[in-house]
Structure 1
Amino acid sequence: MLRVLTLSTLYPNAVRPTFGVFIEGQTSRLAARPDVDLRVVSPLGLAPFPFDRGAQHAALKTLPREEDWNGVRVLRPHFLAIPSIGWRFNPAFVEAAALRAVERLRSQGFVPDVIDAEFFFPDGIAAARLGKRLGIPVSIKARGSDIHYWGERPKVRAQLVEAADSADGLLAVSEAMKADMVALGMPAEKIRVHYTGVDLDRFRPQDRWEAKAKYGITGLLAVSVGNLIRLKGHEIAAGAVGKMKGLTLFVVGTGDDEMWIRRQAAATEEPRRIRFLGTVPHAEMPDLLAAADLLVHASAREGLANVWVEALACGTPVVASDVGSIREVIDRPEAGRIVSERSAGAFAGAIGRLLSQEPDPDAARRTAERFGWARNTETLYAHLAGIAGR
């Protein structure tokens, strides 16, 4: 039996059920193996007074410190999350919170063979320190902004590289991410590519016109999915759709720049064809992506976005900016188009060229089949078992 401690500040809970669902999907499948005993430690950052007055902060405080979440045992020790400047202290605070959780698990008879950190900052730094303190092997996975955003800060970069040097193994969501990790100074010989997983049974093609009818759409439909922040480029997607006739855009997500993005959308040539759906439960995403004729993803920075693979699994091609590992996903015309210039005009041109060729949903679907969960789980198990000496 391989005893795995998964450390992740990105993990769903009753207050934020869509938070880190991609990590939950991976973790729950690993936990389902009969030869794995797994616990999740998901440190919960809580702001101090007076920043804790919002409804969400109050709800987070009421979450159980330990519970079974969708069949997996999850512990949620609290740590202090100070707005604006808290990132400087987060690795140390997360480490302290995780240590308390590990001590609790040990008192219950669970002694981990390996720590699986599912994000490099602050989780990976905290895991590396914790593993060194307790003598437990550590794996750290890089997913995107943990390298591309935090790696740009010199003080954080040094901690990331130190954690990578200390870890027993590293994972990257793509070959492109591995190259970025090496460029940051991380040891290439430790890094194993571990592609994201997609549930091919849930995310699959449907009758597109029947799927559209659920949303009251009778023409062409594009979707733009992600946090409503400027980095994700929703305003570019809106501008591109505004230049085209007969195409509706659904914008999915919430975030700090929502009002700014809405104003940009309202200034386009066809604002009535742009709808903001807010947060869509992950359970409803297969229907939405299957209804769409294409996914527009104009992000300025990514690792390997789960929504790329989920859209393709639904038979929906992707038009995306040339970032991260997009060339490992859109590696043939059936999968979509890659746009080198992040502008509304360039995206409108790529969308027009794609739609003019009447994309084949079955061909798009086939490009996603290499990202199934079975391969993801086997790769992860082999990696963690190797680190643990099994």
Structure 2
Amino acid sequence: MPRPLKILLMSTLYPSAARPVHGIFVETRLRELLGSGEVEARVIAPVPWFPFAGARFGEYGRYAATPRHERRNGIDVSHPRYFLPPRVGMNLAPHTLARAFLGEARHLAAEGFVPDVIDAHYYYPDGVAAGIAAARLGRPFVVTARGTDVNLIPDYPYPRQLILATAAQARASIGVCQALSDRLAELGADRCRLRTFRNGVDLERFSPVARTEARRHLGIADDGPALVSVGHLVERKGHHLAVDAMRQLPADTRLYVIGEGEERPALERQIRQHGLETRVRLVGAVANTELKWWYSAADATVLCSSREGWANVLLESMACGTPVVATDIWGTPEVVSSPAAGRLMAARTADALCAGWAALRAEPPAREATRRHAEGFSWDATTRAQLALFREIADA
């Protein structure tokens, strides 16, 4: 057997004790890679510096509460601080972040952990910063693009310049869907260095439960259709469109919104304004390990996002046998690619959501068929592809 590869993951997108669901998709991909038994890994996941912990400071309070070091699911994770000033933070972040990456990486090297490959996630500022650190350390690196980092941020000239310079320096750039790899090529990245490694789904964690049993477990009504909308309560996730659609749907239809975030007060006002208190429930944050009950209890998962690189909630829902209704954006058509998966909305509107739900209700797929669709997205192929790429880079 070849010796284990040493992988150093660098990204601000990684969970912590203070933010347990933040960037969980990055952690999941790493855990699947470690499950191969062919890799050793460490994680450097910086957070912006802030002096005061506490709920009253919102997200910044959670930054301050993040431990400097922790062990999550058997993985050693460091959370150094970096300076992120307001207003000018976008342009400075790659440089202050690189300093945090570099200091912690040198500390790990002194302890004997010298990586074969640096694995960076999110192109800007994380991937750019990792590239700066990798050059100083003399180590090869790859960057994974995940959505807005290549679809929106390159609209700004300075970040675009740095992204393209980093893509030229990286041994490979990875898109979590083909649409993101194509976007990198459109920006000017060398297609020969582009890879597409799609996120998979944990088919054991997300498995079907009988709908009646799931509703009983959750203590929710079992006398009508139920929809779930899962994700942070921010505008881009489109929960407000799902709430608005409830005004047109039959009175026995219920909506459960799962997540927390800055839009909660606005959603509460919207629900009161339209008299939907008995039909729409803001559930709050739910642990990833408990989401299968909500997916299984629902007749469909709705996702009205304005942008998604690769929406993990869609595959999680399908793995539980529940089809989806989702906006037709970026990588989503690659996930919702058959009638068994669900329906794509014609537009990002409440009307289009209602139309998509009506089409799904008219021809509902068997739960077994929806589950089989999800089974085509296991982590195995992505793990094998990562191992092959990292071995190739290490051998070179």
**1:301 maps to which residue?**
307
**2:272 maps to which residue?**
266
Structure 2 counterpart SS, 1:379 = helix
Is 2:334 aligned against 1:328?
Answer: yes
**1:217 maps to which residue?**
221
| Structure 2 alignment gaps of length 5 or more | none
**Residues 280-359 of structure 1: matches in 2 within 5 Å?**
280-359=286-365
Distance 1:228 1:388, change over 3 A: same
Q: CA RMSD in A?
A: 2.1
Moved more, 145-154 or 323-332: 145-154
Structure 1 counterpart SS, 2:395 = coil
Moved more, 229-238 or 148-157: 148-157
TM-score (norm 2): 0.93
Is the contact made by 1:339 and 1:346 (CA closer than 8 Å) also made in structure 2?
yes
Q: Shift in Å at residue 46 of structure 1? A: 1.8
CA distance in 2, matches of 1:307, 1:48: 34
Match of 1:227 among 228, 232, 235: 232
CA distance in 1, matches of 2:110, 2:231: 40
**Residues 12-91 of structure 1: matches in 2 within 5 Å?**
12-47=15-50, 54=57, 57=60, 60-91=63-94
CA distance in 1, matches of 2:53, 2:62: 15
Q: Shift in Å at residue 51 of structure 1? A: 11
**1:128 maps to which residue?**
131
Is the contact made by 1:91 and 1:123 (CA closer than 8 Å) also made in structure 2?
yes
Is 2:154 aligned against 1:148?
Answer: no
Moved more, 28-37 or 131-140: 28-37
Superposition misfits of 4+ residues, deviation over 6 angstroms? 49-53
Structure 2 counterpart SS, 1:101 = helix
Q: Shift in Å at residue 331 of structure 1? A: 1.2
Is 2:14 aligned against 1:11?
Answer: yes
CA distance in 1, matches of 2:300, 2:326: 10
Is 2:381 aligned against 1:375?
Answer: yes
CA distance in 2, matches of 1:151, 1:67: 34
Q: Shift in Å at residue 84 of structure 1? A: 4.0
Distance 1:51 1:166, change over 3 A: farther
- How many residues are treated as equivalent by the alignment? 390
Q: Shift in Å at residue 340 of structure 1? A: 1.8
Match of 1:185 among 185, 188, 211: 188
Moved more, 32-41 or 122-131: 32-41
Q: Shift in Å at residue 268 of structure 1? A: 3.8
Distance 1:164 1:265, change over 3 A: farther
CA distance in 1, matches of 2:271, 2:55: 32
Distance 1:49 1:281, change over 3 A: closer
- The one-letter amino acid of 2:325's match is V
Distance 1:85 1:279, change over 3 A: farther
Distance 1:185 1:264, change over 3 A: farther
Q: Shift in Å at residue 289 of structure 1? A: 1.0
Moved more, 166-175 or 240-249: 240-249
| Structure 1 alignment gaps of length 5 or more | none
Is the contact made by 2:175 and 2:181 (CA closer than 8 Å) also made in structure 1?
yes
Is the contact made by 2:51 and 2:64 (CA closer than 8 Å) also made in structure 1?
no
- Any idea what the Cα deviations from partners look like across 1:260-312, whole Å, max 9, x if unmatched? 23333334464431111121111111111111110111111111111011111
Is the contact made by 1:225 and 1:307 (CA closer than 8 Å) also made in structure 2?
yes
Is the contact made by 1:66 and 1:75 (CA closer than 8 Å) also made in structure 2?
yes
Is the contact made by 1:171 and 1:194 (CA closer than 8 Å) also made in structure 2?
yes
- The one-letter amino acid of 1:256's match is E
CA distance in 2, matches of 1:237, 1:53: 29
Structure 1 counterpart SS, 2:189 = coil
Distance 1:231 1:59, change over 3 A: closer
CA distance in 1, matches of 2:150, 2:50: 25
CA distance in 2, matches of 1:50, 1:110: 31
Structure 1 counterpart SS, 2:246 = helix
